[in-house]
Every structure is written in structure tokens, then in C-alpha cells.
Amino acid sequence: MTTATVSTPRASTAERTAAREPFRWGKVGTGVVIGLVIVWCFLPFYWMVVLAFRNNANTFDTTPFFTHVTLKNFSYAFDTSINSFGRSLVNSLIIGGVVTLVAMLVGVFAGYAMARLAFRGKGLVLAAILGASMFPGVAILTPIFQLFTSFGWLGTYQGLILPQISFSLPLAVYTLTSFFADMPWELEQAARVDGATPGQAFRLVIFPLAAPALFTTAILVFLASWNEYLLSSVLSIGKTSVAPSTVSIASFTAGPHIVPYTQTMAAGLVVTVPLVIVVLLFQRRIVSGLTAGGVKG
């Protein structure tokens, strides 16, 4: 009797699990693919880390773990007599910082208006902003190159910053628009009922609520600027005093008869690790930011 009463609920749980997972191999398969995804994402990155810490003479060793560990590659990467890599990091920070600031300052108002206010021509503005974000960099590169040649702006900070607005501002506006559209706008309405002007409702109610969205958008914009290569490589015209890190890494050299792989990997790691840390810290927010724009599109 007792065994029967015990086995009955057990059977029902087994049935329930069977109903949820019809295949026994399903769970194992899922685990295997999950493992595969993680290996896929980390393996080449892992190889970069291994090589960044490996002695240059052992570049082509195939040992898959850390051997011939050295920090020489890093001191080499920052050696100002060979590469201006350190300077390029500062340039990337300056360019990325200004681009993010401008895109956010201008974009936050447009994003608010697109998400909250009814106005004529809204669809047209949205189409224009989305259209601008899809423009190929090369479409504006040639005319901008010509214009900046006549301004004398080639190889200057403003010459590198201004063109980046073309992709960072649309990115900021449409990410912010989808974030703002999801916020509890009854609160704004409540503030308006209490006598606040639309401007006050924005400043005092929506802005504090929107801070996380603003922060995530700023990260996305900064990443886009930090990773930009096409415009910067052409418009910096080889001037290392203003060229960002992507340009510096792409033209990384080590002098004659040296294959500078390990040194390049060290420089690449310096550029990448802060990004990876930021991304991992804020992964939940970043994913929501990326997919918010994508799913609603």
C-alpha cells in the first residue's frame, strides 16, 4: 500500500517532465549546443589572450595553454619609439567621449519627442533617422574627404568626430525612442495633471526614470565609436597624433624581419579588455538595448 501511494506522485512528476521534454536526448543536446556556443564565442578570444602573453619567438607553438609567459609584448606595444599605440588610446577616448556626449545631448530630446509626443511628420522623421543609420559610410566618405580637404580638417579631432555623428546620433535616437516608449508614462501624465508643463514633466519625472536607459544607450554609442575604423582610417590621413586605436592596431608594426603577432595581440587585448568588462557588467541592459531597437525596428 505505502509503496503504491509513494509511486503514484512520482509517476505523475515523471509524466509531467516527459510532457515538457519529449526527447530524453533533448536535454543533453541542449547542453552540448550551449557548450558549443560558449566555446565558439570564447575560443578565438582565448587564443588572443594566450598569444598576448607568449614570447614572440614561440608565436607558432600550438600548445593550447599559457607557455613561455612574458609581459614584453605589452611594454613593446606601448613603446613610443615604434608605435603610437598609447597615444591612440587617448585619442579613442577623446573621440568616443565627445561623440557620445553630442549624440546623447542631442538625441535624448529627439528620442523623447518620438516616443511621447504626437506631431505632424513623425513618421517622416523616424524614416529619415533610420535611413541615416543605414547609410554606408563610403557614401559620405568621399564628399566629406573633399570638404575637409578644403577646410583643412583632415587629421584633426573635429574632422574625426563630426562624421561619426552620422551613425552615432541615429543609434542614440532609435535606442532611446524604444526605451522611452516602454517607460510608465502615466507618471508623466500625473505630473501634467498636477500642473507641470511638458518640459517640467520631462525634467523632473521622466529624466530620473530614464537614467538607466540613458546610460545603456551611452555605452552602445561609445562602443560604436570606439570600434569605428573606415572613417577614421581615411580621415586621420596617417596622423598618429589624432588616429584612434583601431587605426593604430591595423597598422601595427614591429620593424623589419619580425612578425609582430604577439605584440599586436597584446595591443588588441588592451583595447578589448575594458570593453569586455563593461559589456559583461552591464550585459542585461545592453542586451535589452540591442534587442529593443531590433525587435520593434
Partner 1 sequence: MTVAGPAAGSAEQTATTSPPPALKRNKIKTGEGRLAFLLVAPTVILLALVVGYPIVKGIYQSFQSDPGLDPNTGFFSSASHWVGLTNYKHWLLERCAKTGGGTGKCPAGTLGSQFWPSIWVTIFFTIVTVTIETVIGMCFALVMHRAFKGRGLVRAAILVPWAIPTAVTSKLWIVIFDPQGILNKVLHKHILWTSSQWPARFAIVIADVWKTTPFIALLILAGLQGISADLYESARVDGANAWQRFTRITLPLVKPALAVAVIFRTLDVLRMYDLPWILTGGANGTTTVSILVVKQLNSTLLNTASALSTITFIIIFAIALGMVRLFNANIIGAQAKGAK
Least separation, in Å, of the C-beta of 254 and partner 1? Answer: 13
Q: Does residue 287 contact residue 175 with C-beta atoms inside 8 Å?
A: no
Which residues are CB-contacts of 78 (< 8 A; sequence separation ≥ 6)? 85, 86
Count other C-beta atoms under 10 Å from residue 133's C-beta: 17
Which CB sits closer to partner 1, 44 or 256?
44
Nearest-10 Cα torsion for 200, 202, 205, 210: -160
Q: Which three cell numbers stand for residue 205?
A: 519625472
Which CB sits closer to partner 1, 91 or 245?
245
Which CB sits closer to partner 1, 6 or 290?
290
Least separation, in Å, of the C-beta of 167 and partner 1? Answer: 9
Least separation, in Å, of the C-beta of 2 and partner 1? Answer: 34
Which CB sits closer to partner 1, 12 or 283?
283
d(CA 73, CA 261): 9
Least separation, in Å, of the C-beta of 3 and partner 1? Answer: 32
d(CA 45, CA 125): 40
d(CA 63, CA 176): 46
- Measure CA 9 to chain center: 50
Least separation, in Å, of the C-beta of 52 and partner 1? Answer: 10
Place of cell 591612440: 88
Q: Does residue 206 contact residue 112 with C-beta atoms inside 8 Å?
A: yes
Least separation, in Å, of the C-beta of 221 and partner 1? Answer: 13
Q: Please, is 111 exposed, middle or buried when counting C-beta atoms within 10 Å of its C-beta (0-12, 13-18, 19+)?
A: buried
Which CB sits closer to partner 1, 82 or 286?
286
Which CB sits closer to partner 1, 11 or 42?
42
